[in-house]
Amino acid sequence: MTRHVAIVGCGNVGGALAHSLINKGIVNELTLIDSDLNKVTSHATDLRDALVALDEHVTIRVNDTAAMLSADVIVVALGPRTISTLDRLAEYASNKASIIELAHTLHAADYDGIVLNITNPCDVITQVLQQESGLPASRVFGTGTALDTLRLKRVLSELLGVSPADVAGYVAGEHGDSQFIVWSSLRVAGQAVENSLSDELKAQLEKQVADLGSDIYAGKQCTEFGIAAIATNICTAILTDSRRVFSVSVYDREAGCYISHPSQVGSFGLGKRFTLHLNASEQRKFRHSADIIGQHAVL
């Protein structure tokens, strides 16, 4: 059975994702696409060396559009070209032209696989990809706040001295500054924690989670391992049809934009959406986040 992933954009994130996919034995075909031929060719050679140590066989192709269009999953991981700080919304202008070109290629080929977007601003770019490609919204979605949710689980588990696996909850809204923690539905070992933490502490934790991307970027000028890991998990869910639930960026008709919801992911793309029951304060935050995304998701 073919398990084929194509990665468009092989910078830090795309390279980390490619290594993660082969390291976990998830794929047997990998197509790497990048405008920097030297870099993408070197990535492919480096990965082939790693395959010997891993005792895995993966067919790796470079800048092969036909191969990309035959992939089960196309992961879009284009990085900023001119941005010197981690301003996700500012990256839109840098990536817009390349995203539209890719979307038109998918449209012309009537691509029948799944498109997973990482490129920032994630929600805005995912919406442009879907609109310009004309692909069903069920087969075009973004990593959204899946990474932020992982960060929440780590931070809260460290604070409370429990395993991250015992933290059940989500970060909602934009993958960006307006994201928020859904405290009303968050559970630790099955117990609600909303009323056991002070408002001050909850505000500090929310800011800490939202700022983690910027903090990591400030230290090493990139953020790749966390996003590569969660993107690998999402690709695995697609390729194995495990139907796991992730907080991914999906089209919300009522909000009028792509925004994160806990959603089932499988070989079909998006399945059941598990809409969170937000309290009044969280609903206002969600609407604010949707308004910010909507202001930018204009072609």
* The pLDDT of residue 275: 85
Are 130 and 140 spatial neighbours (Cβ–Cβ below 8 Å)? Answer: yes
DSSP, collapsed to helix, strand or coil, labels residue 212 as helix
pLDDT in 10s for each residue of the chain, 299 residues: 789 999 999 999 999 999 999 999 999 999 999 999 999 999 999 999 999 999 999 999 999 999 999 999 999 999 865 444 556 566 777 788 899 999 999 999 999 999 999 999 999 999 999 999 999 999 999 999 999 999 999 999 999 999 999 999 999 999 988 999 999 999 999 999 988 999 999 999 999 999 999 999 999 988 999 999 999 999 999 999 999 999 999 999 999 999 999 999 999 999 999 988 899 999 999 999 999 998 876 55
288 noted as active-site residue? no
Domains of the chain: 4-142 (3.40.50.720), 146-296 (3.90.110.10)
Catalytic residue among 4, 19, 43, 175: 175
The dihedrals phi and psi of 122, each to the nearest 5 degrees, come to -55, -50
Mode of pairing for the β-strands spanning 191-192 and 187-188:
antiparallel
Are 71 and 113 spatial neighbours (Cβ–Cβ below 8 Å)? Answer: yes
* The pLDDT of residue 82: 47
Q: How far is CA 83 from CA 51, 120, 144, 265, 296, in A?
A: 34, 11, 20, 32, 17
Q: In 10 A of CB 148, how many CB atoms?
A: 28
Nearest residue to 108 via CA among 137, 151, 68, 156: 68
Radius of gyration in angstroms for the set of CA atoms belonging to the chain, rounded to a whole number? 19
* The pLDDT of residue 81: 53
